[in-house]
Amino acid sequence: MKTLRCLLLLLVFWSCKQEPKEKLPLSIPSEVVAIAHAKGFAINKSSEGITTIKITSPWPNAEAAFTYALIPREKLAYITLNKDEYDAIIATPIEKIVVTSTTHIPALEALGVENTLIGFPNTEYISSEKTRNRIAKNQVQELGNNEVINTEMVIALQPDVVVGFSIDNRNKAYSTIQNSNIPVVYNGDWTEETPLGKAEWIKFFAPFYHLEKKADSIFAAIKTNYDQAKILALKAKVKPSVLSGALYKDVWYLPGGKSWASNFISDANADYLWKGSAETGSLSLSLESVLDTAKEADFWISPSQYTSYNQLEDGNRHYTQFKAFKDRKIYTFANTTGATGGLLYYELAPNRPDLVLKDLIHIFHPELLPGYKPFFFKPLE
């Protein structure tokens, strides 16, 4: 009995002296998530399951990177982070999100989390039928426009995160939202120069929902389809020449030689006539310069907002001098729109480059895809 009494006293003593559970610091990331084509972001995972996302290209020529820490909700009580080291700390999986670019919509839908979207600026630009139905039911709130987003409405919605789109670091609305303890995370998918680079940004969204494996599978399927289409294009016996763009006032804007759009034409085994230029964005040329280079081009792709030959001729009579105009070989995505007039290409094409490439192969080499029905690009009316 005396021995038993001593054991009980020792147990009581040690239970009284037991320290509270110590919070775990974030360890050095032990795993680098594979990002093969996108250049604008990187993802690391720590051994405690913490995900860090680093955005190195939130906009062109950005001088600073943004780093975000994603912590599983069940581990919040056990993790302590130095807030000065992160631009935002977010508990995951998130349940409510605000996004600011239509290119974000297909990623949410592909991951099956579109029901978490609660707000968007300029909802009329959204083409997706699935998300338009949610807008019609007031499940997605209109938030003004991206440049002057309605911060009061965003704060009232209390999203878990706002995925921002910006051309520079001077968006005061985002600062206001952050000051209200709502994390703002920048997405720079639009700065990518390659088709697969843009599409790989689905992996950016996945960690917010703990859906990394699903995102990997979705991207892998898109990449396989794209690569197979690219190989198919190489079977073409003829490599046609291609013109793009149109005049805006007195300036002809067309893709630079290192741009996303130029890469599509090259991968479709066609000769883009400005492929040798070093620009990753657009070129600004005179009508005379474009005529001199591309008057005899076999095809004309994406002639700005024009959807018919009559519109094009009314816009500028000099357009009729191009061989592609005379031969009726001009194709546009401007006549593929959503219910409220949003251009589906701007929304979905960055996420589905495989569909874009097949469209272009069908245009340039119709014999390779007999019976194919174009998704984005249609002939001018």
Mark whether 210 and 244 lie in a shared domain.
Answer: no
Residues 218 and 239 placed together within one structural domain of the fold: no
Based on the fold, state whether residues 202 and 334 are members of the same structural domain.
no
Whether residues 202 and 254 share a domain: the answer is: no
Establish if 166 belongs to a structural domain. yes
Could you give the number of structural domains in the chain? 2
272 and 266 Cβ atoms separated by less than 8 Å: yes
Please give the structure tokens belonging to residue 230.
């690219």
How far is 296 from 239, CA to CA, in rounded Å? 14
Average confidence (pLDDT) over 149-170: 92
The confidence band for 12, taking pLDDT boundaries of 50, 70 and 90, is very low
Residue 236, pLDDT above cutoff 70: yes
Is 205 in the same domain as 87? yes
For CA atoms 229, 232, 234, 239, the dihedral sign is negative
Phi, psi of 347 (to 5 degrees): -85, -50
Query: Is residue 3 included in any domain, yes or no?
Result: no
Point out the domain boundary residue: 160, 192, 222: 222
124 by DSSP, 3-state: which? helix
Tell me which of 22-31, 39-48, 50-59, 280-289 is least confident.
22-31
Residue 146 and residue 254 in one domain: no
Q: Are residues 53 and 136 in the same domain?
A: yes
Q: How many C-beta atoms surround the C-beta of residue 40 within 10 A?
A: 26
Per the structure, the complete domain to which residue 144 belongs is given by 24-222
Taking only the tens place, the pLDDT of each residue in 109-152 is 999 999 999 999 999 999 999 999 999 999 999 999 877 899 99
68 part of a folded domain:
yes
pTM of the complete model beyond 0.85 = yes
Same domain, 173 and 292: no
Q: Within this chain, do residues 88 and 175 fall inside the same structural domain, yes or no?
A: yes
**Both 253 and 151 in a single domain?**
no
314 lies in a domain?
yes
- CATH number of the domain residue 339 falls in: 3.40.50.1980
Strand (E) or helix (H) holding 217: helix 212-233
